[in-house]
Structure 1
C-alpha cells in the first residue's frame, strides 16, 4: 500500500484505506472506508492491467470496484475477488480468457495414494467448471437424512457423506445398462445473461457458489441441460421466471445413440454412453432442439468443438444420415451467419416471450 500512494491513479484506493485506518481509531466515517485487505486486492488488480488495458477503461473499472468495496455494506472479500476476476476477464481478449481456462482444464488430475488403516487417499484437482459439476452432483447426494426405518439422525461426518455420495455416483454410472440414456443430469445452477450466451456482448456465467465460468463453458453445459429463463433486476433479484425447458428429450437421445453410435468427432471411438447431445446450431443462437440439429460428442471433443468454433451438419449421402464436421477454425460463425442471411435462424432470441424457434 505504501508504494501505491505514489501512483495518482490509485489515489481513490489509498484514500479509502487511509480512512479505514482512521476509523479504527475514531469509529466514525464507516461509509467511505475501503478495508486494507480489499484495497490490496484492488491495487494488485490495477497494477496487473495498467500496462495492457486502456487507461480510461481501467480507471473506470477500478472506480466501480472501489465503490462496490466501500463501507460496512460493501462486497465481502470473497465476492470482491470474484468481481475483480470478472473485470479482469473483460479487460482481456476472449481468446486469452479461453486459453487460460483451457490451461486450467488441462491440469485436472486424480492421484491415488495410501491412507491410514488400509484406506486409500484420492487427491482431486479440478478447474472451476469441473469443480462446479462435481460439487453439484456430490452435494445433491450428501445431504444428511434420517434412517427410514428407525428415524435416527445421520451420524456420518460431512466428509464421510461426501465420500459416500461420490462412490454412489460412480456406481450409478457403471451400473447403467448399455443403450439406455442416463438419467437427467445433476442440477448445476449457472446464471448468465442471454446476450452473453448468444455472443452479443462479453461476460461470464456465475454459479450459486459465486464461481466464474467462461461463456464457452456455459455454452457447453447448456447444450444438454434444463434451461430456466428468468428476468433479473439490477441487484440480481428474480423479477420473472419461466418454466424449465428440457432441450433434448430422452426419446431424442435414444435416436441419437442409434444414429451416431458414439462420439461423432472424426477418429473418436467413445461409446454413446460417454457422450453429450450437442446443438449444431446452439439454441442461444436460434437453433432448434431436434435430431437434425444435434450430434453426440464425448466431453473432450465437446470442449474442442466449442473452443475451435467448429461447424457440424447432419447429411445423408445415401447410406443414412450422419454428422460431418468442418474443422476449420471459426467455421461455426461462418455457417451461423449464412443461416441468418437465409432466414433459417433468427438474429435475436428471447425465451421469455417465445420469439424465435421454441427451445424445447
Structure 2
C-alpha cells in the first residue's frame, strides 16, 4: 500500500495533456498494454452493484457488500482523488489448447490467469514504478496504487477510462485485446484530461451465456456468482452444492469458458511476461498427480501462485469432484480411497461423492 503524497507545485504549472500522453507512453514502456484516465463519477456502476447485492448474487463474498461508501466515491478511499489512471496488462500464456485440456478427463483445468505467478505483485511493482516516474517528472503528488486490493470498482473505472466495455459475461472486453488481461489503478489528485468510454460491441451475441456450464450468466450483464465455477472453486469455503458438482467437469481452479468462446478474443495477444508463463505443468496437469500432493508439496510448489490462497483442503475438494466427473479406472479409485480418511470432513465428503459417481 502506498503512502499518501502531497503535491509540491501548483497545478497550473503542469501541462496536463502532455503529462497524460507521457504517462501512457511510460506505462507501455513498463509493460502495460494500455492506459487510460477517468473521472471519479461512479453513480451508475454503484447502482448496478447495489442491485446485484440485493439479489444475493455475491454469495459468500461478504467483502463485496462492505465499504460501500469507499466503492461509490474514490475520494472516500483516498482523499483528494480527482482522477483514476487505469492500466491493462495482458496475461494469456502460450499454454496450448485449453479446450483440449477441458475435454480430457485425466487432466485438470486451471484458469489461464493462475498458471504463473501471482499478478498482484507483478502489477503493483510496475504501478509503483510508474508513480515514481510521475513524481520525478512533476514532484510529489497525491496517489495510491491498487491491484484488486481494496474496495475499487475497477471494471467500471477501466470502462470510463476507455480500456473496454463490460460484456454480457461481466468481464471487461476490448475490440483489440479481447478479455485476457488484468487491471490495476492509480488514484491521483492530478487533474489529468479524461479518456472517452468506448461503445459496447456485444450486439446480439449470446456465446458466453450459452456456453456457461452452470448457467451462471442469468441474463445479459448479470452474473449469479453462486453458480459460477470460479466462485465455487475459489471463493466458496464450504461444500460445493451437490447439484452443481457434475457440471464442474474437470475445472479445478476457475473457469474460462465464457472467455474461450468470446469472438473478441480472436484479437487477444499472448503475454510477453515471463511471470505469467505456466509453472509445474499446470496448463495440462494430471489430476491423480495433483491429488497426491501433500499440504507441504502444495505450499511449496504453489509459492507465489494465486492458487495457494484457497489452501490444500479446498484444492483436494476441487480435484475430488473432477476425478468423480472423469473416467473410471483402478488408479482413480485407489487415489480417491487413499483420501477417505482425510482429517477434513469436507474432503471426505467430496471424495465419497466422487467414488459414488464412479460405481
Q: Which has the higher contact order (CA 8 A, sep 6+)?
A: 2
Q: Give TM-score, length-normalised by structure 1.
A: 0.22
Higher fraction of strand = 1
Select the structure of larger CA radius of gyration. 1
